[in-house]
Amino acid sequence: MKYYYYRIAPAIAVLCFSLIMMASATAQTFSDDFQDGKIYLKFKDTESITYTVDEDNNVAISSVPVISRLASEYNITGLSRPFYINNDAKLLRTLMLEIADYQLIEQIIEKLKKDPALEYAEKVPLDKVSYLPNDSLYRLYNGPQNWNWHLELIQAELAWDITTGNPDVLVGIVDNAVWADHPDLAGKIVAQRDVIYGINSSNPPGTGDPGEWSHGTHVAGLVGGASDNNIGVASIGFNVNLIAVKAANNSTPRSISGGYQGIQWAANNGADVINMSWGGSNYSQTNQNIINTISAMGVVLIAAAGNDNVSAPHYPSAFQNVISVASIDYNDAKSNFSNYSTTIDISSPGGVASPGPSGVLSTTYSSGTMGNFDSYIGTSMASPVVAGVAALVLSMNPDLTPTEVENILKTTSDDISVQNPTYNGMLGAGRVNAFAAVTSTPFEPTAAFTTPVNIIVPGTAIDFESLATGVPSTWLWNFEGATPSTSSEVNPENIFYHEPGNYDVTLSVTNQFGISTLTLTDYIQVTTSPIPYVFITISDSVPCIAQTVILSDSSLYEPNSWAWIIEPSTFEYVNGTNATSQSPEVSFLMQGHYHVTLSATNQNGTGTRVYTNAINVSGIAPPYTLDLEDGTSGYFILWDSTKSQTAVDFRAANNSMKGLHFHGDPIPTGWKGHPTTGTPEQVWTENPTFMSEAYLCGVDARTFTNVKLAFDLRQTYSLGDKYSWFRVLVNGVPVSDFEGRTNFNPLTAGADPWQRVEFDLTPFAGLIFDVTLQACNRFSDKVQGEGDNVFVDNIEIVNSVSVNAPKSNEGISVFPNPATDMINIKLDGITQNSVAEIVNTRGKVVYRAMLQEGTTLHEIATHNLVPGLYLVRVMKNGTQILSAKVVLTER
């Protein structure tokens, strides 16, 4: 972390819906707030449970008496145990019931509640998104430190729910330099200029201290660093774009000698807002005139108030027509370095948080432990936060004048006078509040609305949802032919239509800035002979290659025939279903997005709906390489638990920028095992809350004869080497590398060197399989010395194997091959109990049996298996000791 109190030399400026069917006395409800047809039920902790769970965590309905009884009366489509990963006793007693009779969900819940074995039954909530960016450092976890305290303080996430910024709004960053090629700025800078040397580049000169040249880059990242791009930080301006101006001589990064030329260039090249995180103590009428001219052009000018902890004027922040920004800490108290004065207009986060960090995190030209990101402190950081909020305000209404933008920022700021009793009237109107600012921006509303369906039968009640923009304050609905005929609710519910006909719907929305009215003519069609209104449900919209997906018709108005179209055609129908089934089962053969079209027909006609990109199939075909340099984990899915952390970050890179990082928790209570005598078995079975994973599903090796997995690996430990563990699993089974290592543990005190590890996965060639990189670490990174870390970089899965691959186990064989009705596994005796398994090409275990100590021959009947390629494997202590491919032929 660096402290930047930029001091300026005198005279030189320095730096789904809801539908109620009322046919007869029955009501069918589709809810916006709960998942359709899904119920959680929890068995009491004292209740003895014996239900049967398969490997996919589906529960046999017949094994649960209360559900078995309901199955004879209701259309139950599924029963599962969804929360099993943590082995939590309560979650293992929690099941999810799925029913097709959506309208009967309350009735079923009431019956479940009467069963004495159950603690409760409840509908499954439908969670809706509140905007959070996915940038890797936005959710960076490092002990108790909150790296996004400045964004939380100004309610950025709530503001982003209103607007994430308009790319047409341009913010000028006039500073010492801006590194335009920074990974989190590239693509956001639409124009750049060096006003000292007259060239179209804002980049640092390439000489001198990179930290000194990072100031402008840090400022730029705070205003408009690329957000929601899986890497780096999120900026308050989010989607707004930048104009970058270098205004320092190549030999003096702390002196902004071309600042006023820079703001003029930015203004004349399209800037809507200009940030000036620099200044000095001397007044200049010329500079005031320049400011006046640029302000008259409609440009919002924002400047840092200075870092000298004095009340003396500081320019350009003290000029008229400039918004002057002081710095506050996490608790809204004035930062101990910040200037204070009656010329201050507003305050903003730029100081310290508690607990940590000191400063705010943003982009840098210099590189540290987090790569080209670091935490800086100063009014230089407070000012661009306000500039980003101003850009969001202009994104709501680009026609506002600079005075109107300033008034919005001030009148919506939070009062911080109580936190600063000795600075009354000296810290501006208050601390900037992004959410309040955008919701109070003068912007005429635009009426828009939707309903789950608009073709209904008489006696149906439907719900309406407002999609109006502009933050309306009132809503007035008119429903022709309905009861009630009007509503002032935001989202009216239970609007009944009794008679056939086509009816208009009108919505008028108002706020203090205007009114907007929308009428949709004949929008609601009430008919006694409706065609099917098509809805579908998909059992898994993000499956792996070869995984079975169920497409279920949920259409209204009782269709009796169906026609499915899936594009592209790289799929197959399975389990006896086809394109005319009501609920076909599909297996996808290639990764990528698939479109699904359903045409459903009843006696009145055919309804059709197209679901674009409805299914996104995951998986890879070797050769596959992943260098992690783009800040994402590629096709690997990252998972961590309550006391583990997983991320792609700069700490894990091997001679590169980024890598994969697993580590533990700053408060590691609950770890089972001794730091030096703990065992792998203990770690993997007794410390599930400390585990973390990178999971790759659907490695399609059907066309390959050999496969190798390789990657760079480094481990560290804090108080003991047995606190850091790592292993690789294929289809959930641990595998050994070429040197026979299954469980990896640090060997060097503190930190191991990087090593290249390789795994022969040839036994899985010809199959589709899954790979899991699994870590279990006690302490988090750097909490105790190095911390307990696992670093992985430069992953590859290729169709080649090193000549150092181990030889097959002698004396163990599988025959006959090919086979029809019987497979034999011949062993020269095994010294302890083991397991024999048969795995199909989709990675599913279709046979499993225990092999007792001393077994020499094991017979497996295969008459119930379909012809094809299978993997036969024998495992001891969870580790594979034999694998062989066997072909089963037609009988």
Spatial separation of the C-alpha atoms in residues 714 and 652, rounded to whole Å: 8
Residue appearing with tokens 């002032």: 488
Three-state SS string over 544-587 comes to ECCCEEEEEECCECCCCEEEEEEECCCEEEECCCCCCCCCCEEE
**Which 3-state string (H, E, C) describes 330-343?**
CCCCECCCCCCCCC
How far is the C-alpha of 734 from the C-alpha of 379, rounded, in Å? 53
Q: Which two tokens stand for residue 114?
A: 């009467």
Residue at token pair 């898994």: 540
* Coil vs helix vs strand at 520: strand
Q: Tokens 């009132």 — which residue?
A: 474
The enclosing H or E element of 182 equals none
In this structure, are strands 868-876 and 879-888 parallel, antiparallel, or unpaired? antiparallel
Burial class (CB in 10 A: 0-12, 13-18, 19+), 569: exposed
261-281 as b/e: b if 16+ CB within 10 A: bbbbbbbeeebbbbbbbbbbb
Quote the CA–CA distance of 340 and 14 in Å, as a whole number.
19
Q: Which two tokens stand for residue 129?
A: 């998104």
CB 266 within 8 A of CB 172: yes
- Helical packing angle, 379-396 and 402-411, nearest 10°: 110
Return the active site residues.
Answer: 175, 215, 380
Residue with tokens 């400011």: 291
Tell me the C-alpha distance between 224 and 824, whole Å: 65
3-state class (DSSP) for residue 70? helix
Task: Give the full edge-to-edge strand order of the sheet including 813-815.
Answer: 813-815, 822-826, 857-861
Cβ 315 vs Cβ 305: under 8 Å:
no
Q: Going by C-beta distance under 8 Å and a sequence separation of 6 or more, which residues neighbour residue 466?
A: 448, 449, 472, 475, 490, 491, 507, 509
CA end-to-end distance (rounded Å), the chain: 71
> Residue 351: which H helix or E strand, with range?
none
Dihedral over alpha carbons 625, 628, 634, 635 (to 10 degrees): 60
Nearest to 574 by CA among 384, 771, 844, 252: 844
Residue 778 one-letter amino acid: R
**Residues 430-457, buried b or exposed e (16+ Cβ, 10 A)?**
bbbbbbbbbbbbbbbbebebebbbbbbb
Nearest Cα to Cα of residue 171 among 231, 233, 253, 238: 238
Count CB-CB contacts under 10 A for residue 164.
Answer: 19
- Beta pairing, strands 170-175 & 273-276: parallel
C-alpha–C-alpha distance, residues 787 and 718, integer Å: 5
Q: Which residues pair with 34 in a beta bridge?
A: 125
- Taking only Cα atoms into account, the Rg of the chain, rounded to an integer number of angstroms, comes to 32
Tokens of 553: 């018709």
How far is it, in rounded angstroms, from Cα 778 to Cα 144?
16
d(CA 390, CA 403): 11
Strands 514-526 and 455-456: parallel
List CB contacts of 874: < 8 A, sequence separation 6 or more: 812, 825, 827, 830, 834, 835, 836, 837, 851, 880, 881, 882, 883
